[in-house]
């Protein structure tokens, strides 16, 4: 539902973190494993030219290149050796424990990109080491695509709920690291079977929260179904009611007063009042808050 945006500097920084970890601790052994596994060797480089640069290019492949790697694996009738799988999955465990928090911290990811409902936190332990309290989803399942289990942009910081849901399904959704698309998922309210018009003034919770089905792509629909977004968000009627009340309370005149008092422009003021940000990834319910605000803003 939400992209994971990054600046060129952030991209450079997380790739440096990743490559420093892998090249200093695991590269030599990985190269030995590759030489013993022709299938893995061909997955990493179709010309079987294995160098540090070709391994780095594989591990840091962007979302388009990952899709091509996945296709090549699907087209092949062979699988990598069990010993190779064991090594790669062990490296994933090490990455999860030692590096994931650093990546998430650099990117400023605070909420799950799949649902935008649940926080995924980084914390510091007693020794001052940063730790990751969310999950890492393998965009391409690590059971079927074990060779890609430690590719950086195949590892999606996510909440435990969404990671568990996705691990049990096989639906085409967008990789949040793919910045070439924008989700068309939009939340809105509508009358329930009681037809209570008081909800339009924030005086009742007799309404439904739904997703606008206009202009949805196939992947949008898949995400809605897979992550049960409409059902999960329909439980947030109190949140929506609060936004409706705010939309009525903060009229144009009052907002102009606040803009002058705090020397802030109208767009930034609305973000503070209603609780949303431009990218949504750093605030819980940001997309939902913005959509309901836009529906009732005067």
Mean of pLDDT values over 169-177: 89
Over 80: is that where the pLDDT of 298 sits? no
Mean of pLDDT values over 183-196: 94
pLDDT in tens, 221-262: 999 999 999 999 999 999 999 999 999 999 899 999 999 999
pLDDT in tens, 235-246: 999 999 999 999
Residues 6+ apart with CB under 8 A from 213: none
Over 90: is that where the pLDDT of 167 sits? no
Over 90: is that where the pLDDT of 129 sits? no
pLDDT in tens, 32-67: 999 999 999 999 999 999 999 999 999 999 999 999
Quote the mean pLDDT of the chain. 94
């Amino acid at each position: 539902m939400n992209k994971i945006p990054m600046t060129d500097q952030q991209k450079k920084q997380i790739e440096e973190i990743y490559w420093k970890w892998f090249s200093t601790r695991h590269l030599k052994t990985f190269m030995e494993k590759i030489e013993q596994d022709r299938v893995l060797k061909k997955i990493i480089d179709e010309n079987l030219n294995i160098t540090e640069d070709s391994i780095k290019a594989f591990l840091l492949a962007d979302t388009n290149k990952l899709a091509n790697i996945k296709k090549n694996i699907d087209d092949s009738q062979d699988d990598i050796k069990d010993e190779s799988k064991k090594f790669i999955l062990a490296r994933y465990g090490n990455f999860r424990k030692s590096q994931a928090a650093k990546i998430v911290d650099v990117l400023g990811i605070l909420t799950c990109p799949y649902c935008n409902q649940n926080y995924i936190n980084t914390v510091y332990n007693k020794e001052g080491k940063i730790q990751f309290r969310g999950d890492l989803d393998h965009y391409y399942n690590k059971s079927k695509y074990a060779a890609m289990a430690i590719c950086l942009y195949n590892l999606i910081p996510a909440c435990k709920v969404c990671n568990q849901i996705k691990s049990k399904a096989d639906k085409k959704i967008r990789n949040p690291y793919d910045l070439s698309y924008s989700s068309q998922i939009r939340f809105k309210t509508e009358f329930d079977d009681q037809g209570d018009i008081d909800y339009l003034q924030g005086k009742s919770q007799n309404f439904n929260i739904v997703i606008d089905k206009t202009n949805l792509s196939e992947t949008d629909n898949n995400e809605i179904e897979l992550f049960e977004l409409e059902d999960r968000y329909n439980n947030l009627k109190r949140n929506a009611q609060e936004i409706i009340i705010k939309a009525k309370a903060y009229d144009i005149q009052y907002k102009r007063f606040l803009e002058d008092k705090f020397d802030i422009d109208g767009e930034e003021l609305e973000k503070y009042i209603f609780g949303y940000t431009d990218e949504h990834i750093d605030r819980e319910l940001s997309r939902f808050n913005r959509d309901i605000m836009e529906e009732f803003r005067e």
